[in-house]
Chains A and B, each alone.
Chain A
């Protein structure tokens, strides 16, 4: 375990050096995120220009939701996103061989090659928006809430990781799997809205099987519903995220079993 941590530290350092040599690009990526965020806020403004509540959520609760969604998504993207999107290409070209010969777990090796510094900046932005929303709501969460919030955010990152890793792992069966990468964005798109607007099979699917709706909803409920802690929802998030994480591991090993490299 310690060995993996040391390796991870070295990989991070390398990424940092690489990122800093493209400063303009770094700033532009941050701008992209700020624009996206402004667009989201515009949408919320439009929605709440017409209603007082969405489901049972008020405007600033929804803003906190968008902010927290940003935190989870950006943390995931900082550590894993780029690496996971490269898997289909590694498999297609046979470059995955290099990762398999390393004295490391293969899934760890492909998931951790580089990380995105700009995503950390955007994580902070998400936290700031969430904080501002709480201020407007007039809620002050206690230490327990903050702690639970952080834990749930990490479980959320695990859900993001599982979904993206599983989508990429499909490339062992379908060689041109780029279309699946869009699936990631489409899936998590729905997590920015209050759970209570969803109903029926759709809600069941995305809260119990593939818990993408819980990822931001549960942490925000912890922060904004200070009167009581939503233990059931937390349990649901933890349980389902462990399940999808386990599935991803199993699926990765299955996929790897099919890998035949590419002749060179």
Chain B
């Protein structure tokens, strides 16, 4: 059974390899907003009385962490592809195969992320090198496994959400607006634009119950070693909770959707 999905993973690697230049271009372009972010926080820190949580260097390191987690864990085109497979009817050929569609798609997602991370490694390397004086590597060795565990959790949550949204294509023609609506929440509330601990405590305590902080902010905080043991434990528990909820919704929507599915023509 595992071998089957290993094979899918391999096919996924080959399939996405044609997009390698796309990946390089994408990662090159993603540096431009990063540089702008660095400039803005420099202006903020130079003004600087109010920002007690971060200094300029830790802020820069925060955004390098964001870029890393984003590369490793954020689905880029999966939801679009799954939705278009359903809309165009190509899913029929998958239904006849002895595959679990969710596991199949998860394997492809894994392949996609691995290849993306690998191809864009030189670009990431250049960013890390260029900003190296702001990077403070973790003091404790345990931080690394915890970081990668949280990245894996983040990848699962993001993938399951993307998959669930794509499943809506069974019911409605156009899911792209819904994808963008969710994306705008994710973009601002997961810590992409600013570290969430700059928000007022009341807002943060509400936000902690949503899946968004565990997609980006939580892993980056672990990398920056800004959390105590209790917060790490609590964070992992919430992350695990959201992996289960989003995973269950992905499965449920697939089961309901397939029942509705009708392919016409040949």
Contacts and interface: CB of A to CB of B under 8 A. Distances in A.
Interface of A: 22, 25, 28-29, 31-32, 35-36, 39, 42-43, 46-47, 49-55, 174, 176-180, 182-183, 186-187, 189-190, 193, 197-199, 202
B26 A50 contact: no
B32 A51 contact: no
A187 B35 CA distance: 11
Nearest to B44: A51
B198 A50 contact: yes
5 contacts: A39-B184, A176-B19, A176-B21, A186-B33, A193-B39
Contacts of B184: 32, 35-36, 39
B29 A182 contact: yes
A52 B46 CA distance: 12
For the residues of B in contact with A, the DSSP-based class is helix
Interface size class of B (residues with CB under 8 A): 35 or more
B19 A28 contact: no
Given A179-B21, A199-B39, A35 B185 contact: yes
Nearest to B179: A32
B30 A186 contact: yes
A54 B43 CA distance: 6
Contact of A186 (B29, B43, B51, B193): B29
A28 B177 contact: yes
B187 A54 contact: no
Contacts of A47: 40, 44, 194
Interface in B47-75: 47-48, 50-51
B181 A28 contact: yes
Given A176-B19, A179-B23, A186 B42 contact: no
Interface in B1-57: 18-19, 21-26, 29-30, 32-33, 35-36, 39-40, 42-44, 47-48, 50-51
Nearest to B192: A39
Nearest to A39: B188
A51 B40 CA distance: 12
A32 B29 contact: no
Given A36-B184, A39-B184, A39-B193, A178 B50 contact: no
Given A25-B174, A25-B177, A187 B32 contact: yes
A31 B188 CA distance: 15
B121 to A, nearest CB: 16
Given A51-B44, A176-B18, A183-B29, 9 more contacts: A22-B174, A28-B177, A32-B177, A43-B188, A43-B193, A51-B47, A176-B22, A198-B39, A202-B35
A187 B29 CA distance: 7
A190 B26 contact: no
Interface in B169-220: 174, 177-178, 180-181, 184-185, 187-188, 193-194, 198-199
Given A180-B25, A186-B29, A35 B181 contact: yes
Nearest to A176: B22
A49 B47 CA distance: 12
A32 B39 contact: no
Contacts of B25: 179-180, 182-183
Contact of A197 (B32, B42, B187, B199): B42
Contacts of B24: 179
Contacts of A177: 22
Contacts of B194: 43, 46-47
A174 B180 CA distance: 27
Contact of B39 (A29, A42, A50, A202): A202
B178 A28 contact: yes
A183 B24 CA distance: 11
- A28, A178, A186 — which one has the most chain B CB atoms within 10 A of its CB? A186
A189 B35 CA distance: 11
Nearest to B27: A179
A230 B65 CA distance: 39
B50 A49 contact: yes
Contact of B44 (A42, A54, A179, A189): A54
B197 to A, nearest CB: 11
A174 B26 CA distance: 14
Contact of A179 (B26, B32, B43, B51): B26
A176 B36 CA distance: 28
A213 B187 CA distance: 22
